[in-house]
Amino acid sequence: MKYRSLALFSTLVLSAGLAACSSSGDSSDGAGGGPTALDVWLMRDSVSAEFQKDFETGFEKSHPDIDLKIQIQEWEGIGEKVTAALASNDAPDVIEVGNTQVAQYAQSGGLTDFTDRVDELGGGAWLKGLAEPGAYEGKQYGIPYYAANRVVIHRTDLFEQAGVDATGIRTREQWIAATRKLDRGGTQGIYLPGQNWYALSGFVWDEGGDLATESDGRWKGGLDSPEALRAMEFYRSLQALGKGPKDSDEAQPPQAEVMAKGQVAQIIAVPGGAKVIEEKNPELKGKLGFFPIPGKSADRPGAVFTGGSDLVVPAVAAHQEEAFTFLRELTGDAWQKKLAVAMSYVPNKTTLADAVSADPGTAAMAAGAANGHATPNTPQWAAVEAKNPVKEYMTAVLTGRDARSEAAKASRTITDTLNSGS
C-alpha cells in the first residue's frame, strides 16, 4: 500500500466506466511485424516523469519488440476501476496496486498466478511485508514493487540539549529512557496520538502476536493474546511521555504540523513527514533526524507495517509474456536501485538496502523494512478497517478501562468481521 495512502482500502464495486479500462484502443499484437503494445497502469506519484521517461527509453531499447504504454492512474476510485478491468475483456497488461489490496483482487480469480516464476524474479530476497500480502491461498499474484514504512523523526537539537545520543537508541528500553529525558519543561518527549494503530501493530508483531490469525479457514482476532496485551502496555508507557490526544489518530490533527510548532522531540511517521515539518516551520530545517523504530533487542529494528505497492497482471491480459518481461525489468535489481534513489523508496529486496544508504530518512526506512509486516491477508480486512475496533480499543485502554476486557471485545469484533464473508 502506497505510503502516501497507507490507509487506502478501496471498496470493490463494479464500475460502469469499462471504457476507461484500457489505456490504448489500438494495441498491436505484433502479428503484422510491428512491436506489441503493452498497456501498464501505474499510480500517481509512484514514479516521477523523469524516471518514467528513463525507464521507457531503456526498456524499449532492450526490448524493441514491445511498445510500452504507461498510463498514470489516480488513487481516488482505483478499486472500482481495477475491479471493472479484471471483469472485462479489455484489461491493461500490468496494474500497480496497494500491497494489501492484492487479496481482494485475487479472490475473484482475476489475476495471473506467478508462483512458478518467483525464482526468476529474485523472490527469495523480497521484503516480507510486500511478498506476503501479494500471495493469496498459497499462490503468488502480486510482485513486490517498492515499499515505505514509518521511522522515528526526531529533533536533533532537542536530543543534544537533553544529552541524548540517537545513535545509541537501539532497544525499547533505551527508547523509553531517552524519551523520559526529553519529556521535560515545555517539550514533549514524543507526540504519539492514542489511535496510531499502525505503531501498535508493530509492537504486537515484535511481541510475537498478530492482529488476527487463521486456522482451518476461520479467523480469530488476536488483540487479547498475551503478546498483544504486552504490546498495548508498552504503547501506553510510550504515549504517556507526551501530550498526544488519546481519542484521535496521527491525522487529527496532522502530527507533522504539531511537531512544527517546536515543542515535540519525536514522532513516528514516514520520512516524508520531515519535509512537511520544515515547510511549516523553516527554522527547523537541518534540525531533523531519523532512526528506525527500536526493537526488543539491539540486533533487530522494531517491526513495522510495510506500505507500498505490488504489480499484478490480469488473467485476461492479452500479452502475458510481455507483461512478465516488464515485471522482470521494473522489479529487477538495476531499475529498483534507480527507483529507490529517485523516489526515496525502499527497494523490493532486502539485498538492495545499500542503494539508499546516502539518504538518512530512506536508510532508516530500509533498516526497518527488513522486519516489515502487513495486515492479515484476507479480503475481509478492509471491512475491519472500516469499523476499526483497534482504534476504539486503544482509546478505551488509554482512558483507564481494563485492557483485557477491552481487548477481548475488540477481538470479537475482528473475529466476527473476518468470518462474515466465509
Taking the CB of residue 16, how many other CB atoms lie within 10 A of it? 8
What's the pTM? 0.86
DSSP bridge pairs for 57 = none
Residue of 322 and 17 predicted with greater confidence: 322
Flag whether pLDDT at 95 surpasses 80.
yes
Q: Which are the contacts of 206, defined by CB distance < 8 A and separation ≥ 6?
A: 231, 295, 296, 302, 303
The C-alpha atoms of residue 71 and residue 78 are separated, in whole angstroms, by 13
In this structure, what C-alpha cell is assigned to residue 301?
Answer: 529494528
Band of pLDDT at residue 20, cut at 50, 70 and 90:
very low
pLDDT band, residue 9 (cuts 50/70/90): very low
pLDDT at 8: 35
Tens-digit pLDDT profile for residues 152-172: 999 999 999 999 999 999 999
Distance, CA of 276 to CA of 293 (rounded, Å): 20
| End-to-end Cα spacing for the chain | 25
Report helix, strand or coil for 269.
strand
Cα→Cα distances 149→95, 158, 174, 190, 304, Å:
22, 24, 21, 18, 7
| pLDDT computed for residue 382 by the predictor | 87
Q: Does the pLDDT of residue 61 top 80, yes or no?
A: yes
SS3 189: coil
Whether 244 has a pLDDT exceeding 50, the answer reads yes
Cα gap 407→333, rounded to integer Å: 43
The three cell numbers locating residue 147: 515499499
Type of residue at 230: R
Higher pLDDT, 6 or 89: 89
Mean pLDDT value across the chain: 92
Separation of alpha carbons 310 and 140, rounded Å: 11
User: Is 293:272 a contact under the CB 8 Å cutoff?
Assistant: no
Residue 26, pLDDT above cutoff 70 = no
pLDDT for the residue 31? 52
Cell triple for residue 300?
A: 533487530
Q: Is the pLDDT of residue 278 over 90?
A: yes
The distance from CA 407 to its chain's CA centroid, rounded to whole angstroms, is 25
CB 141 within 8 A of CB 354: no
Q: Is the pLDDT confidence value at 21 over 70?
A: no
Confidence band of 34 (pLDDT split at 50, 70, 90): confident
Distances (CA, A) of 59 to 15, 51, 347: 32, 12, 19
Average pLDDT over residues 319-346: 97
Q: Which three cell numbers stand for residue 360?
A: 538518512
Strands, DSSP E only, in 273-364? 288-291, 304-305, 307-312
Q: Is the pLDDT of residue 370 over 50?
A: yes
> What mean pLDDT is predicted for residues 122-140?
96
* Percentage above 90 pLDDT, the chain: 88
Answer whether residue 222 shows pLDDT above 70: yes
Whether 185 and 161 have beta carbons less than 8 Å apart is answered as: no
Q: If pLDDT is split at 50, 70 and 90, which confidence band does 421 have?
A: low
Q: Strand, helix or coil at 184?
A: coil
Closest by alpha carbon to 238, among 304, 189, 166?
189
Looking at residues 277-284, what average pLDDT do you find?
A: 96
Question: What's the CA angle centered on 330, arms 300 and 20, to 5 degrees?
Answer: 115
Instruction: Give the span between the Cα atoms of 407 and 397, in whole angstroms.
Output: 9
**What phi, psi does 349 have (nearest 5°)?**
-125, 145
pLDDT digits (tens, 9 = 90+) for 114-125: 999 999 999 999
Read off the pLDDT band of 27 (50, 70, 90): very low
Angle (nearest 5°) at CA 252 between 393 and 223:
20
Burial label, 387 (beta-carbon count in 10 A; 0-12, 13-18, 19+): middle
Q: Regarding beta strands 266-269 and 151-155, do their DSSP bridges make them parallel or antiparallel, or are they unpaired?
A: antiparallel
CB crowding 228-260: b at 16 or more within 10 Å, else e: bbbbbebbbebbbbbbbbbeebbeeeebbebbb
Beta bridge partners of 289: 154
DSSP 149: -
| pLDDT surpassing 70 at residue 317 | yes
